[in-house]
Amino acid sequence: MNKKELISSVANVSSMSKTDVNHVLEAILEIIIVTVSNGEVVRLVGFGSFCPILKDKEIHTIRNAKQSVSHTSLRGVRFSIGKFFKQKMYTST
């Protein structure tokens, strides 16, 4: 399922238009991105948690033919699946 299909599905099961669903989804995603980027955890009970990964590593240099880049930290996001989501994943066939 892609974003467009998700918007259509939500619009079909709710009384909202596709445009309204799109605006709400964009707002939710933006809030999650900004919150996790600021180092905070976003917990959606039953669904899961988005946790920032901020680790300092020793300095290493990545080289290729055109440039050399030094990296000192690792940033990313880890998603931990929630209890309800996990139950649905392992009981559905």
The verdict on 56 and 72 lying in the same domain is yes
Cα 82 to Cα 88: distance, rounded to the nearest angstrom:
10
CA triple 5-9-15, angle to 5 deg: 135
Query: What's the pLDDT tens digit per position in 21-60?
Result: 999 999 999 999 999 999 999 999 999 999 998 776 666 6
Q: Do 63 and 82 lie in a common domain?
A: yes
What tokens appear for 88 in the block? 């649905």
State the total domains in the chain.
2
pTM for the whole thing? 0.74
Same domain, 27 and 46: no
**Pair (9, 33) in one structural domain:** yes
**What's the confidence (pLDDT) of residue 71?**
63
Q: Evaluate if residue 70 carries a pLDDT over 70.
A: no
The reply to whether 11 and 32 lie within a common domain is: yes
pLDDT value, residue 75: 77
Question: In this structure, how many other beta carbons lie within 10 angstroms of the beta carbon of residue 29?
Answer: 11
The mean pLDDT of the chain is: 88
Domain with 5, as residue range(s), is 1-38
